[in-house]
Structure 1
Amino acid sequence: MAQLAGLEDAQRLYRLEASFLPGAVVMRWQGRDGLGEHAVTEVDVLSTRADLALGEMLGQRALLHTRLPSGETALRGGLVAGARRVGSDGGLARYRLELQSWTWWLQHGRHSRVFQEQSVRQIVDAVLGEYAQIACWRWAEGCDAFLEGRVRSYCVQYRESDLAFVQRLLTEEGLSWRTLADAEAPCGNVMEVFADSRRLPQADANRAGVRFHRADATEKADSVLSIGHRRRLSSTRVTLRSDDYRSVQNLTAQQEVDGGGRLSAREAFDSPGAYAFSGWNAAQHYATLHAEALEAQAQAWWGHGTVRGLRSGAWFTLQDAPRHDLPELLLVQVEHQGINNLPVDVRKQLDATLPVGIQRTSAVNPLPIAPNEADLWAQAEQTGYAQRFIAAPHDKPWRSVLPDGTGTRLNPRATAPGYQTAIVVGGSAEGGQDLHCDALGRIKVRFHFQDGDGHHDSAW
């Protein structure tokens, strides 16, 4: 196709940077990112090479460049987790690349091990450090102060993926994470763990605010096209109770929740087990975290628009909104769809020879909000880009909640189901000695899945 010779134009909306696909032209792409979840991007590209080996693409880095209305560039980076040759007409081939943030790799590592007398930060750093070849992460300012030096006396990862383990620990502590594009990172992105969502930065899209306005290809600024709000009833009080064997007392903490409704009080009572807290202050801390998580899940804002610079983990203000009491909004999840501004005749010819095939299984799970996926693609056809998002009030703490309830409860499910067998060891972790107990009559054991290191035995 002779028209393809001029497609590598600097004025294109989207450009792919990938050493394994030199000269490739982006046709369309879709992606999703969110707080506490991977950033995934699926890109359709055109190449004059129809004989490229798909296996050699896997694990390689690729960066998607998006041109913003200001002339600046926004990045989405990732490693190739999947590659498909969608079609070929002999001289031209369409490839579909699935780019995943490096955190996606954590779900493919599964371990059983014990961490003793370590902080959550030390444990998470140890797990992520095993992926040093691709991993890039950092702790936002305020995380250490938020954790207050709390140490886990005995923490077990049992037949659990590294991703599930890290997510569980962070969520239990009220922490979450976001994914940021980083051209200098080996994987094209960095994971940032944060404690206070109110300290997350403002979106780069428009520091003065994002317009609530119609969308048109002739508009110079992107805009939000619709906005909606949801509120649900939740508990009005959180109560936690545990016992401390050292001080021989019960520990009880309560925290009020803005759960909505005035007709009844609704208490969420949880007894997470013995010695769940080191003291009353710790119990009250976790009660507060659970209350904040319930409040965060009880309301949400959603909308759609054409603002190319918006990503999860940043907040924005909406100008000329239909409601005057609209708060600053923190983006929790964002789904993106983009179509490159190729010449109309070229696009028609490509669609005829190499069909796009939108109705297909995708690596990008759609958000369960309006508009539907087909309407979003139709908007992208008009303006080159469309998005839909879920947001939360920026002035309130946002806490993650896992599907099993972790975040609003401690130990909601058994993480080591079934009976366990172990070897009784002495005080110095040596077997074959006389039975050794501490002052409370407790013994030490080593589980069969442990590596035998002396300091990895059970607590007394």
Structure 2
Amino acid sequence: MTASYAPRRYCVQYRESDFQFLSRLMEDEGIYYWFDAHDAPGTMYLSDSSDVAHTTLPAEATLRFVEGSAADARYNEVTRWTSARRLESGKYASLDSDFKAIRKKLGANMDVADDHDLSDFELFEFSGGYFASADADSRARVRGDELIARRDRHWATTSWPDVAAGQRFTFEGDPDGSRDGEYLIAGCTFVLTHSGYEGLSMREAGESVADVLEALLAEDTVNAETRDVVLDIIHSTPALHGGARGASAFLLTVLPVELPFRPARCTPKVTMPGPQSGIVVGPKGQEIHADEFGRVKVQFHWDRYGKSDEKSTCYIRVSQPWAGKGWGGYFIPRIGQEVIVDFLNGDPDRPIIMGRVYNDEQPIPYESPTQSGFKTRSTPGGNPNHYNEIRFEDKKGKEELTVHAERNMSTTVENDDSTTVMHDQFLTVDNDRTARVRGNEKWTVEKDQTTEVVKNQVNRVNLMQTNTVGISQVNAVGGGGQTNQVVGPQVNTFAGGVTTIITGNQAHTVNGSQTIGVTGSQTTSVTGAATITSSAEMKIQAASRKDISNGETSIMANSIKVVSNTNLALMAVGNIDATSIGSNTTVLGSNSSGYIGMNSEANLGMARSTFMGMSINNALGMDISNFAGLQIENAVALKLIGVGAAEIACRTLSAEQQVLKTFMPGAGAGAAAGAGVAGALGAAAGAAAAIVDISATLKQYEDAQIALKEAAKEAAAEGLPGLAGRLSNLAKVAERRRSDAFATALPGYSLAEGLGAATVTQQNDALTNANPTTAGPPSGETPPSR
């Protein structure tokens, strides 16, 4: 043996004997063998180089040609020489493929041209039986030698016993000399004829020898392609089929030594009749055993010696639904699963898994015949509850597509994604959910939408947010409260009304300034107490203002200042009580106070009245002044006291200090007349002033009556019926007091007429003409009588 041979990736002996198996392999590799039986038990020789592997015949290296009829061929003579010439192709080509380098051109060519026209014809073979370029070249050389080895064949018959297959000799004596030369004995058939018992018909024995030879040479690989020539030699050579009793002969098949010899590939390779099933196997303790190409190993059912482990077969490729460049379908058969194995070109050495089947240990995943899909198993250590699944339910009326991810699920859409649900859709996330939209997002709900957040919710908008509600909006916040934080300005625009109902407390804090603008009216209703606190100045500005309180109204401040652009009116259903440390009242115009009833003033300290002009006190009835202490009257200029009738003074002690005191002359009638004149003049002036004051007082009560009625209407409009009723009653009281005062004032008018003073008459006329509508009772009313 001169060449080295690499182990084959996978080699199967299937439905062939050991002899057939070994013969097929050696024929494919170009290895031939022969036996040397001279020395027991004999020696088997193997060779892949015919030019160096053989020795010459040991006894006589030369065999000479002598025709069989010329002499009795008993020694080193050849009695018959037959030659055959085959016109073979002179070119050989083969191709194969290796999935590990699928794009690589794997093949070889061999040119062994001969000297005939058919030598240019090419013999092409696929598959070449190799997986590497080096193997392709060596196989091509073997196939070329095989073509050369069957071109020239020669056969010789001899009785020389020192011949054997695998030995060389020199042939001489060819009639034309063209075939003399060195030859290698490629086949040697020894024929010995023995008649057996006496009287046996030699004719019958001769006929049986030819039949026996033909049967024996049926499997002769050396003469397989020239079998017809060999049979013709047997039937035409008496020594080979019907020689004399005790005769023997050797039939030699010889080849020119200068030509290489390779055995013909006569042993057929078994072609697998079809797919087979097997069980996926691997190392103990593993659930998946595959290489980087997704290949697995299989234990065939007919394999008696396999141990159902990683050594049962080679790695076998697995057919997948799709097999693209980094894409397609991919499911690795797992250990224990039953697979269907086919064979490329029927070659048992090239299995490929085409599918998988269920069995009693690997049952189908679905019990219903209407269900189908893909269901995996978590590994290692997964049980029936650990799986990923895509399931289809095709039962009419209950069609369903189910996708189950045992742990995580990722979905990537390079462009658009559209989902249409014709009825309801439910989404349940037991833990967290995060959604990121790098562009815009739009949600359209044609009917109602309900969003429920059991715990907290955070909405963050980095720029601007717009919420549009077509009709109404209701926000309900529980007991934890609500916090709205706006860094910049906030504008709330309400086309309709706004109603805010707060069951508990409300705190409103503005760190800067606040401006509230109301184009219409504004009403603030507080069921409990209301407090407005300002650290600086507080200003309320309105066209008009009303403060309405069902109870008491208290104003407390370090200093209170009330400024009215026009009049200032104070109105009370009850008393008006004023208490102060001191009291200063400055009237720049006229000052009029009217009392219809009793007027009482109590001064516990000093009471002082200062008049820059004239001070006149008038009493139409009785004027009584009582002083519990000391009364002092000071007159800087002139003090005039006029008594029209009589002045009576009762004093326990009277003391006067006067710089000058003048007494008018004419005591008695003169004094009385003077005093009468002065008293008359004073009375006339006092009566006129009284009439003016009384008219003003009656006008004040009339105005008070009108103001009370208007206030009652406003209180009723504001929803204060109690206050409205009390104001109406007070208006009636003002009307009654005015009527009583008018009736009381009538004697004053009569007194003025009795005095007969024109001035009084003129004043009375002036009072009557000043306000004719208020001088008497209202129109249509009868003056009250006392």
SS at 1:150 equivalent? coil
Change (3 A) 1:258 1:390: farther
Aligned residues of 2:281 and 2:310 also touching (Cα < 8 A):
no
Q: Per-residue deviation at 1:371?
A: 4.8
State which of 69, 78, 84 in structure 2 corresponds to 1:224: 78
Provide the rounded CA distance (Å) in 2 between the counterparts of 1:245 and 1:421.
23
Q: Residue 174 in 1 paired to residue 30 in 2? A: yes
After superposing on structure 2, the runs of 4+ consecutive aligned residues of structure 1 that deviate more than 6 Å are 216-220, 353-356
Letter of the structure 2 residue corresponding to residue 321 of structure 1: D
Residue 330 of structure 1 is matched in structure 2 by 184
Which AA in structure 2 matches 1:315?
R
Q: Which residue of 2 aligns with 1:375?
A: 238
1:312 corresponds to which of 158, 165, 175: 165
CA distance in 2, matches of 1:312, 1:295: 20
Aligned equivalent of 2:54, options 200, 217, 222: 200
Letter of the structure 2 residue corresponding to residue 398 of structure 1: F
**Counterpart contact for 1:217–1:382, Cα < 8 Å:** no
- Alignment of structure 1 residues 90-239 onto 2, 5 Å: 143=1, 145-146=2-3, 148-185=4-41, 189-198=42-51, 199-207=53-61, 209-215=62-68, 221-239=75-93
CA distance in 2, matches of 1:382, 1:225: 19
- In structure 2, what residue type is equivalent to 1:243? S
- Tell me by how many angstroms 1:167 deviates: 0.3
1:437 and 2:299 are equivalent in the alignment: no
Q: Which residue of 1 aligns with 2:377?
A: none
Alignment-mate amino acid for residue 158 of structure 1: Y
Q: 2: CA distance between counterparts of 1:383 and 1:319?
A: 28
1:300 aligned onto 2:153: yes
**8 Å CA contact retained: 1:244, 1:250:** no
**Residues 1:272 and 2:127 are matched in the alignment:** yes
Q: Deviations over 1:301-359 (max 9, x none)?
A: 1222222211222121112222434231112222222358xxxxxx8x95326877333
Q: Supply the distance in 1 between the matched residues of 2:258 and 2:265 (Cα, whole angstroms).
A: 22
Q: For 2:296 and 2:98, locate their aligned partners in 1 and report how far apart those are by CA, in whole Å.
A: 19
Mapped to 1, the partners of 2:158 and 2:235 lie a distance apart of 13
Contact kept? 2:188, 2:250, Cα under 8 Å: yes
Number of matched residues?
A: 293
User: Is there any run of 5+ residues in structure 2 with no aligned partner, and where?
Assistant: 218-229, 316-786
Q: How many Å separate the matches in 2 of 1:220 and 1:359?
A: 24
Deviation of 1:414 (Å): 4.5
User: Shift of residue 205 of structure 1?
Assistant: 4.5
- Residue 379 of structure 1 contacts residue 385 of structure 1 at CA under 8 Å; is this kept in 2? no
Choose which of 73, 90, 94 in structure 2 pairs with 1:240. Answer: 94
Q: What secondary structure is seen at the aligned counterpart in 2 of 1:304?
A: strand
Does the alignment pair 1:387 with 2:250? yes
Residue 352, structure 1, aligned to residue 199, structure 2: yes
Tell me, yes or no, if the aligned pair for 2:149 and 2:261 is still in contact at 8 Å.
yes
Q: Is the 8 A contact 2:91 2:111 kept in 1?
A: yes
Letter in 2 for 1:336: F
Indicate if the aligned counterparts of 1:257 and 1:295 stay in contact, CA closer than 8 A.
yes
Distance (whole Å) between structure 1 residues aligned to residue 121 and residue 71 of structure 2: 50
Say if 2:98 and 2:131, in contact at 8 Å, map to a contact too. Answer: yes
Identity of aligned residues (%): 24
Q: How big is the shift at 1:268? A: 1.1
Aligned-residue CA RMSD (Å): 3.0
Match of 2:106 in 1: 251
Instruction: Provide the residue aligned with 2:139 in structure 1.
Output: 286
Deviation at 1:419, TM superposition (A): 1.3
Q: Cα gap change, 1:289/1:263 in structure 2, threshold over 3 Å: closer, same or farther?
A: closer
The alignment status of 1:365 with 2:216, answered yes or no, reads yes
**Does structure 2 retain, via aligned residues, the 8 Å contact 1:337–1:380?**
no
Distance in 1 separating the partners of 2:66 and 2:242? 14
Q: Distance in 2 between matches of 1:442 and 1:265?
A: 42
> CA-to-partner distance for each residue in 1:252-287, whole Å, 9 max, x for gaps?
2100123442266211111217xx424222101101
Q: Which has the higher strand share?
A: 1
Whole-Å separation in 2 of the counterparts to 1:384 and 1:204: 24
Deviation at 1:377, TM superposition (A): 4.9
CA contact (8 A) 2:145 2:262 kept: yes
What is the identity, as a one-letter code, of the residue corresponding to 1:352?
A: G
Cα distance change, pair 455–434 in 1 and its aligned pair in 2 (3 A): closer
Change (3 A) 1:205 1:384: farther
Matched to 1:362, the amino acid is: V
Distance 1:352 1:375 in 2: 20
Q: Give the superposition deviation at 1:434.
A: 2.5
What is the CA–CA distance in structure 2 between the aligned matches of 1:331 and 1:219, rounded to whole Å? Answer: 19
* Superposition deviation, residue 292 in structure 1: 0.9
The one-letter code sitting in structure 2 at the alignment partner of 1:213 is V
Contact 1:332 1:392 in 2 (8 A): yes
Instruction: Answer whether contact 1:205 1:308 (CA < 8 A) is retained.
Output: no
Q: Return closer, same or farther for 1:323/1:299 CA change in 2, 3 Å cut-off.
A: same
Summarize the alignment of residues 39-54 of structure 1 with structure 2, pairs less than 5 Å apart. Answer: none
Say if 1:298 and 1:434 are closer, same or farther in 2 by CA, change over 3 A. Answer: same
Distance in 2 between residues matched to 1:307 and 1:258, nearest whole Å: 37
Shift of 1:379: 8.3
TM-score using structure 2 length: 0.34
Contact 1:236 1:260 in 2 (8 A): no
1:378 is displaced (CA, Å) by 7.9
Larger Rg: 2
Higher RCO (CA 8 Å, separation ≥ 6 residues): 1
TM-score (norm 1): 0.57
Deviation (angstroms), 1:422: 0.7
Counterpart CA distance in 1 for 2:200 and 2:83 is 43
Q: Could you say which residue in structure 2 is the equivalent of 1:98?
A: none
* 8 Å Cα contact 2:73-2:159 kept in structure 1: no
For residues 353 and 305 of structure 1, do their structure 2 counterparts lie closer, same or farther at Cα, with a shift above 3 Å needed?
A: closer
In the TM superposition, what whole-angstrom CA distance separates every residue of 1:220-243 from its partner, at most 9, and x where no partner exists? 733001212211222221111122
CA apart distance, 1:152: 0.9
Q: Residue 302 of structure 2 corresponds to which residue in structure 1?
A: 449
Residues in 1 aligned to 2:46 and 2:119: alpha-carbon distance in whole angstroms:
37
Taking a change above 3 Å as real, the CA distance of residues 448 and 382 of structure 1, as seen in their structure-2 partners, is: closer
Give SS of 2:185's match.
strand
Kept in 2, the 8 Å contact 1:241–1:252? The answer is yes
Which amino acid counterpart does residue 251 of structure 2 have in structure 1?
R
Separation in structure 2 between the aligned mates of residue 272 and residue 403 of structure 1, nearest angstrom: 17
Distance 1:455 1:312, change over 3 A: farther
**Residues 263, 353 of structure 1: alpha-carbon distance in 2 compared, 3 angstrom cutoff:** closer
CA contact (8 A) 2:54 2:167 kept: yes
Give the 5 Å matches for 1:390-409: 390-403=253-266
